[in-house]
């Protein structure tokens, strides 16, 4: 083991438990089994998830064994981390539907041919009551209440289900099942990782090293990036959409995104942080550089510059994108030669519902041929629409080419 290897693996971490433990594991002189468990509770790998996935890739590039666990059983229980109430349970079918697209996205970061991919239903579904009793005997209620979220809920008189107490034990049992040397997770997962160490000792295994990475704030710059909050960037988002989302972050979190999303390293992070603080660097320049770097990571070299050019065409030059989706209106949307504006936006794929379409209009975010439309109940004649470009917000465009043949 070299000091450079240790620095590469430990840089950008929130915690490594115990102190000196990673050095001891690396000194074993063999490939380490490095575990990362991810519950498929949504369909996108976000830049937040990518932080810990890229750390796993660093271990992989150094010859260690990435053990990627798809938590198809634990997702049905629900991780209580950070929750102020009980999480609704997902069904097996719902979890499986989320897992399929996630597996394809993992390959944008990891070399999946060299990943030990496991599903924790392999060992958790087969546990009987005797196994569960043995598992629960390895900890105490007092230990569980050391978790801040459990302790806060208990103090406030908010309910905590026994099922939620089981979650850290089930995640910890994953470490026993795969004999993990190291487990990775976000900083909010430290308690769960430490439970894994306890259970390994209980089963006569050498306890794993718990290594956590910082949490990435979402596009709002405040809360953790999350699909449920809508403040996320997916790693398979189209390049122009990814760039546009990243340009919307508050200036205060640019250095964090440089470090965690663009994977630029501590030195670059320090340079950007210092330069923005003393005014020698311009926020917009650094935000653009960060956004280009992130797009390049997931779409290939040069993709960031192309996405930036597309962004400027719309937002700086106030022009439509070079390629605007063309749509034909369904015949049933047209009545007496006219279309109700909310129905038009839904039919064009620019709104998910009439209510959302109305909100966009009342907020001044809808244009037709460059003209703002401000009446959410407007009826537009076909000749006013066909051939013109519809725009909703900053990034959504469509051009109506006509009406679809009702018989087709």
- Residues 199, 284 within the same domain: no
| Residues in contact with 279: Cβ distance below 8 Å, sequence separation at least 6, in sequence order | none
Beta-strand relationship, 379-381 and 338-340: antiparallel
Average pLDDT over residues 24-53: 94
pTM: 0.77
For residue 32, tell me if it sits in a domain. Answer: yes
**pLDDT value of position 323:** 66
Residue 363 dihedral angles phi and psi, to the nearest 5°: -85, 0
- Residues 87, 173 within the same domain: yes
- Residues 205, 273 within the same domain: no
For residue 320, tell me if it sits in a domain. Answer: no
% of the chain residues with pLDDT over 90: 55
Alpha-carbon gap, residue 285 to 281, rounded angstroms: 8
- Eight-class DSSP state of 114: G
Confidence of residue 4 (pLDDT cuts 50, 70, 90): confident
The residue behind tokens 């910890």 is 172
Confidence of residue 406 (pLDDT cuts 50, 70, 90): low
Neighbours of 309 (CB within 10 A): 12
**Cβ atoms of residues 33 and 63 within 8 Å:** no
Number of residues written out for the chain: 408
Q: What is the pLDDT of residues 80-97, one digit of tens each?
A: 776 655 667 788 899 988
For residue 223, tell me if it sits in a domain. Answer: no
By residue range, what is the domain housing residue 12? 3-213
- Residues 23, 93 within the same domain: yes
- Residues 197, 250 within the same domain: no
- Residues 136, 188 within the same domain: yes
**Cβ atoms of residues 153 and 5 within 8 Å:** no
Residue 315 has pLDDT above 60, yes or no: yes
CA 349 from chain center: how many Å?
Answer: 24
Alpha-carbon gap, residue 392 to 180, rounded angstroms: 49
Confidence of residue 408 (pLDDT cuts 50, 70, 90): very low
**pLDDT value of position 79:** 76
- Residues 29, 73 within the same domain: yes
Specify whether the backbone of 336 is left (phi greater than 0), alpha (psi in -120 to 50) or beta.
Answer: left
- Closest of 163, 165, 57 to residue 115, by C-alpha: 57
Structure tokens at 166: 């089981």
For residue 244, tell me if it sits in a domain. Answer: yes
For residue 199, tell me if it sits in a domain. Answer: yes
- Residues 12, 62 within the same domain: yes
- Residues 130, 204 within the same domain: yes
Alpha-carbon gap, residue 137 to 169, rounded angstroms: 10
Residue 7 has pLDDT above 50, yes or no: yes
Residue 26 dihedral angles phi and psi, to the nearest 5°: -65, -30
Q: What is the pLDDT of residues 346-378, one digit of tens each?
A: 888 888 888 888 888 888 888 887 788 888 888
Angle between helices 239-246 and 303-315 (to 10 degrees): 70
For residue 43, tell me if it sits in a domain. Answer: yes
Alpha-carbon gap, residue 341 to 335, rounded angstroms: 12
CATH number of the domain that residue 181 is part of: 3.40.50.620
Beta-strand relationship, 33-38 and 366-368: unpaired
- Residues 278, 381 within the same domain: no
Average pLDDT over residues 385-406: 77
Q: Which of 315, 346, 370 is the last residue of a domain?
A: 315
**Cβ atoms of residues 153 and 159 within 8 Å:** yes
Q: Which of 171, 195, 213 is the last residue of a domain?
A: 213
For residue 218, tell me if it sits in a domain. Answer: no
- Residues 55, 150 within the same domain: yes
Q: What is the pLDDT of residues 241-295, one digit of tens each?
A: 899 999 999 999 999 999 999 998 888 999 999 999 999 999 999 999 999 999 9
Residue 178 has pLDDT above 80, yes or no: yes
**3-state class (DSSP) for residue 316:** coil
Q: What is the DSSP string of 231-286?
A: ---BTTS-HHHHHHHHTTS-GGGHHHHHHHTS---HHHHHHHHHHHHHTSS-HHHH
Q: What is the pLDDT of residues 222-253, one digit of tens each?
A: 999 988 888 999 999 999 989 999 999 999 99
Number of domains present in the structure of the chain: 3
**3-state class (DSSP) for residue 69:** strand
CATH number of the domain that residue 361 is part of: 3.10.290.10
Q: Which of 286, 315, 344 is the last residue of a domain?
A: 315
For residue 205, tell me if it sits in a domain. Answer: yes
Q: What is the pLDDT of residues 111-156, one digit of tens each?
A: 999 999 999 999 999 999 999 999 998 888 888 888 887 888 888 8
- Residues 100, 168 within the same domain: yes
């Amino acid at each position: 083991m070299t000091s450079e290897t240790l620095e590469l693996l430990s840089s950008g971490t929130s915690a490594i438990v115990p102190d000196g433990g990673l050095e001891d594991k690396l000194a074993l002189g063999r490939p380490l089994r490095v575990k990362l468990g991810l519950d498929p509770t949504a369909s996108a790998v976000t830049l937040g998830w990518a932080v810990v996935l890229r750390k796993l890739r660093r271990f992989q590039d150094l010859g260690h064994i990435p053990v990627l666990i798809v938590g198809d059983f634990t997702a049905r229980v629900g991780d209580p981390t950070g929750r102020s109430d009980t999480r609704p349970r997902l069904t097996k079918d719902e979890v499986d539907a989320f897992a399929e697209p996630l597996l394809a996205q993992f390959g944008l970061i990891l070399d999946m041919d060299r990943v030990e991919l496991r599903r924790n239903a392999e060992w958790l579904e087969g546990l009987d009551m005797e196994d569960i009793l043995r598992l629960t005997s390895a900890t105490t209620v007092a230990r569980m209440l050391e978790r801040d979220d459990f302790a806060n809920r208990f103090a406030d008189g908010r309910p905590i289900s026994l099922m939620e107490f089981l979650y850290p034990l089930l995640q910890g049992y994953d470490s026993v099942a795969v004999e993990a040397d190291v487990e990775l997770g976000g900083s909010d997962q430290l308690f769960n990782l430490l439970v894994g160490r306890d259970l390994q000792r209980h089963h006569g295994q050498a306890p794993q090293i718990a290594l956590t990475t910082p949490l990435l704030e979402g596009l709002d710059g405040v809360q953790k990036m999350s699909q449920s909050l809508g403040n996320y960037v997916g790693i398979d988002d189209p390049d122009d959409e990814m760039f546009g989302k990243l340009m919307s972050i508050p200036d205060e979190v640019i250095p964090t995104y440089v470090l965690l999303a663009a994977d630029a390293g501590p030195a670059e992070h320090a340079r950007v942080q210092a330069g923005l603080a003393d005014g020698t660097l311009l926020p917009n320049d650094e935000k653009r550089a960060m956004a280009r770097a992130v797009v390049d990571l997931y779409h290939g070299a040069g993709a960031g510059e192309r996405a930036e050019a597309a962004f400027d065409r719309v937002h700086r030059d106030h022009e439509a994108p070079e390629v605007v989706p063309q749509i034909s209106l369904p015949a049933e949307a047209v009545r007496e030669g006219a279309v109700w504006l909310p129905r038009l936006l839904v039919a064009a794929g620019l709104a998910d519902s009439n209510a959302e379409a109305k909100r966009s209009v009342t907020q001044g975010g809808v244009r037709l041929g460059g003209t703002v439309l401000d009446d959410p109940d407007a009826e537009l004649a076909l000749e006013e629409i066909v051939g013109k470009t519809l725009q909703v917000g900053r990034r959504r465009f469509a051009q109506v080419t006509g009406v679809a043949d009702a018989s087709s």
